[in-house]
Amino acid sequence: MQTQSAPAETPVPLRVFARLFGAVVLPMFLAAVDQTLLATATPAIARDLGDLHDSAWIAVGYLLASTIMAPLYGRLGDRYGRRDTLVGALALFALGSLACTAAGGMWWLIAARVLQGLGGGGLMVMSQALIGQIVPARQRPRFQAWFGMVFVFASVVGPVLGGLVVSRWSWRWLFAVNLPLAALAAWRVRTLPRGDAADAAAAHGHDAPGVVLFALTAALSLLWLTLAGHRFGWTSTTSLAMVAVALVLGAVLLRRERALQHPFLPLELLRLPAVAWCGATVVLFAAAMFALVFFLPVYLQLGRHGSAAHAGLLLLPLTVGLVVGANATGRLVARSGRPDQPPRYGLSLAAVALLTLGWAPAGTWLVASLGLIAGLGFGSVMPTSQLLVQAVAGPSRLGAAAATVSLARSSGASLGTAVFGALVFGLVSTADLQAALHGGDAAAVGRVTHAFHLAFGAAGALTLLAAWVSTRVPRVDL
């Protein structure tokens, strides 16, 4: 059993919370919405730029870059100040958005998304760290639901907005709008106090070799998962070479990180059982949820002949479920002080919904109902994971704690999107995908639909595993 208690704390005035919320809500929204914004726009982008097979990398490139940068931003924020680090991340995010707006080809867009993700990786991490810096631990459940709702609402409203914009205008507007929003967000963040470095020793060093090794290992592993099976055989020389190099790089990375006093990866937190099991839960949860959010609109357009706007609107029940689930979880934890309990029940509920989606015929009302149920379950994870990890980490490592959760979430989202895409695109031919993309014959559409159903079932099994892993988290009292 592992507990974390705190002495009596002075309540945070509402005006202080309102100032904080007004400053960090927009960076959090931008970070979350740009992970899923292109889900409903992907078929339109593929028709415009070509190459549907590699379209999953529109999401994976952004998520991978965010994953790589999350721990680094945590260290930078702890060392140089979280407010100024967040402003720098917003500037890099805006630069990537500008490059996406001007993209002339699929891999140009993917490269621009990587640049955008290098900035986006710091938006959620630094926003969460600023919350922990200003709001004491026992009072965070009172406010955490608000921030949790921003994350889950933005994550799923992204496809809705994307579908509406693509139906009426060009997909390029999805990136152009980020420029004024990022400028507004930077101005609001600069109204917060600068703050001091929390712990110079904990933030010491940047471990550039560790960053490079982590980036190469993650990129090579995801490339292999995405390309093997349709670009080259699973047992081909290319496939085996990629696996071997990824394993060697991963082994070198772990050996190096264990030898350093202040490594790039937050290993000092991962050695704590509560953080390790919570991180594993978040990885599995994010893999299943982001696979659903990114590919359900694609399935509705390719397999069910729906429009981008219709596919986006069918995700609204999932949005409602996520918001309600996050809010209810926040209130429950505020009363009980136990952030370790809700995910085990919520993830079990979401697993039932996903397994049913993979088995049953996908009518409009069924998709909407199952999306609502899945959202209620998934909404129990993110608010509690931040509270739990920050409570265990302590005030001197808030940046590293926020980075740990962000790293787990981004890693899971990248992994789930890549694996889900590899599974779907590996089960059907390019000819079938092109036929479904352009409204081809019913047999091709049927094969594409079957592949998506198998993948949804696999996502349900993954969510069930996440529910079991969440039961391994030791008791944590705020």
**pLDDT of 398-426, one tens digit each?**
666 766 777 788 778 778 877 787 777 77
Tell me if the pTM is above 0.75.
no
H or E segment to which residue 20 belongs: helix 14-36
CA pair distance 277, 279, nearest whole angstrom: 5
> For the CA atoms of the chain, what is the radius of gyration?
21
Least confident of 71-80, 250-259, 314-323, 371-380: 71-80
pLDDT tens readout for residues 436-456: 666 666 776 777 777 788 888
pLDDT of 429 over the 60 cut: yes
Task: Identify whether residues 293 and 148 lie together within a single domain.
Answer: yes
Residue 229 lies in a domain: yes
Task: Identify whether residues 347 and 434 lie together within a single domain.
Answer: yes
pLDDT at 95: 92
Least confident of 8-22, 322-336, 379-393: 8-22
pLDDT tens readout for residues 59-95: 778 877 877 777 677 767 777 777 778 888 899 999 9
Over residues 16-25, mean pLDDT: 72
Residue 21 lies in a domain: yes
Task: Identify whether residues 92 and 223 lie together within a single domain.
Answer: no
Task: Identify whether residues 268 and 310 lie together within a single domain.
Answer: yes
Residue 239 lies in a domain: yes
Query: Which is higher by pLDDT, 233 or 88?
Result: 88
pLDDT at 162: 78
Dig out the tokens for 297 from the structure: 């609109």
Structural domain boundaries enclosing 142: 14-191+264-470
Task: Identify whether residues 328 and 438 lie together within a single domain.
Answer: yes
Q: Of 220, 236, 263, which one is at a domain's C-terminal end?
A: 263
Residue 4 lies in a domain: no
For residue 303, what is the DSSP state? T
Among 23, 24, 60, 45, residue whose Cα is nearest residue 174: 45
Task: Identify whether residues 277 and 344 lie together within a single domain.
Answer: yes
Task: Identify whether residues 421 and 353 lie together within a single domain.
Answer: yes
Q: Of 234, 263, 292, which one is at a domain's C-terminal end?
A: 263
pLDDT tens readout for residues 135-153: 655 565 556 666 666 766 6
Least confident of 174-188, 265-279, 297-311, 380-394: 297-311
> Mean pLDDT across the chain, nearest whole number?
77
High-pLDDT (> 70) share of the chain, %: 76
CATH number of the domain encompassing residue 153 = 1.20.1250.20
What is the crossing angle of helices 364-378 and 140-168, to 10°? Answer: 150
Residue pair 5/138 in contact (Cβ under 8 Å)? The answer is no
Residue 198 lies in a domain: no
Dig out the tokens for 356 from the structure: 């049913």
Task: Identify whether residues 248 and 364 lie together within a single domain.
Answer: no
Q: Of 263, 291, 309, which one is at a domain's C-terminal end?
A: 263
Provide the residue type at 411 as one letter: S
pLDDT tens readout for residues 91-115: 999 999 999 888 888 888 888 988 9
Residue 196 lies in a domain: no
CA pair distance 27, 411, nearest whole angstrom: 20
Residue 424 lies in a domain: yes
Task: Identify whether residues 248 and 304 lie together within a single domain.
Answer: no
Residue 107 lies in a domain: yes
Among 182, 184, 166, residue whose Cα is nearest residue 174: 166
For residue 192, what is the DSSP state? S
CA pair distance 210, 463, nearest whole angstrom: 31
pLDDT at 202: 45
Among 271, 287, 401, 433, residue whose Cα is nearest residue 351: 287
Number of domains in the chain: 2
pLDDT of 119 over the 80 cut: yes
Task: Identify whether residues 257 and 272 lie together within a single domain.
Answer: no
Task: Identify whether residues 251 and 131 lie together within a single domain.
Answer: no
Task: Identify whether residues 432 and 355 lie together within a single domain.
Answer: yes
Among 203, 144, 257, 143, residue whose Cα is nearest residue 397: 203
pLDDT of 6 over the 50 cut: no
Query: Which is higher by pLDDT, 395 or 100?
Result: 100
Q: What is the 3-state secondary structure (H, E, C) of 199-243?
A: CCCCCCCCCHHHHHHHHHHHHHHHHHHHHECCCECCCCHHHHHHH
pLDDT of 260 over the 60 cut: yes
Measured in residues, the chain has a length of 478
